[in-house]
Amino acid sequence: MTAIAAARRTARRTTMISGLSLALGVCLWQLMASGISDLILPPPTDVLARLMDPAFFARLSRALGQSLVPLALGFAISLGVAVPLGIAIGRSKSLSRMFEPVITAIYAIPPIAFVPFLVVWFGLFFPARVALVVLMTVFDVLQVIIAGARDVRPGLLDVGRSFGASPVARTRLIVLPALSPFLFAGLRVGFARAVNGTITAELFFAAVNLGAIMKRATENFDTAGVLLVVLLVCLLGLLGQAIITLLETRLLHWHVRS
């Protein structure tokens, strides 16, 4: 069997094991749930039933749709700030040395601690949610981009200079393409953090959309409902990562991953 075919077979086997593991987990859940009160641990069947409830499903979908707006906006703003800034800092040794300590210090603060601050600045509604998404996303993406911009092999830039390319041309033709794997890593991290920021905002500011559903369900001891929202958030995160990775495989077919 060729090496590629063997690798594919092991990958398939691993996927099967993963599937089995998930299935086993659900079965275990079902078993445990039958022994415990439904208020604390509803069985998967209950959760499924809740999902099938058309009213609840409608509310859930609408909430999800509305949650996506601050998510997308905050994510876009973060990228718009972090990518150029990250490239500038990563490529310039002096800028890097100047701002590294400040960035490290701010990065050491849990963004959630700024929530009361954001209330003062942005209120309790849409602007505050976008702001929290940006706050939670921008630093992680910045870190990745800085690392990537630093990592561009000097030899490649020598080639650019040797052929007489201007700094702008060098950034466009060399730095950006060399950076692109890191860009996608940044997109993945950023998206997860953006989802994080959105749901956190919906729970800590004025509860709306998914956060509101979660809060109401918690108050009503509707564990199945809460669980559904959690699963939805989880799914959203996984889907985003899958899409970004798919995009990366398509666009960066030259990239050899170790």
Q: Are 148 and 171 a contacting pair, CB within 8 Å?
A: no
66 binds another protein (CB under 8 A): no
Looking at 230, 243, 246, 247, which residue binds another protein (CB under 8 A)? 230
Q: Which stretch binds another protein (CB under 8 A): 43-51, 56-64, 80-88, 194-202?
A: 194-202
217 binds another protein (CB under 8 A): yes
110 binds another protein (CB under 8 A): yes
114 binds another protein (CB under 8 A): yes
167 binds another protein (CB under 8 A): no
Q: Are 215 and 200 a contacting pair, CB within 8 Å?
A: no
3-state SS string over 74-141?
HHHHHHHHHHHHHHHHHHCHHHHHHHHHHHHHHHCCCHHHHHHHHHHHHCCCHHHHHHHHHHHHHHHH
Compute the distance between CA of residue 151 and CA of residue 145 in angstroms, rounded to an integer. 10
Looking at 28, 30, 65, 100, which residue binds another protein (CB under 8 A)? 100
152 binds another protein (CB under 8 A): no
Q: Is 232 exposed, middle or buried (0-12, 13-18, 19+ CB in 10 A)?
A: buried
57 binds another protein (CB under 8 A): no
113 binds another protein (CB under 8 A): yes
Looking at 43, 86, 90, 160, which residue binds another protein (CB under 8 A)? 160
Q: Is 199 exposed, middle or buried (0-12, 13-18, 19+ CB in 10 A)?
A: buried
5 binds another protein (CB under 8 A): no
End-to-end CA distance of the chain: 22
| Residues in region 18-37 near another protein by CB under 8 A | 18, 20-22, 25
Looking at 9, 14, 32, 49, which residue binds another protein (CB under 8 A)? 14
Compute the distance between CA of residue 91 and CA of residue 80 in angstroms, rounded to an integer. 17
Q: Which stretch binds another protein (CB under 8 A): 45-53, 62-70, 80-88, 171-179?
A: 171-179
Looking at 7, 27, 39, 247, which residue binds another protein (CB under 8 A)? 39
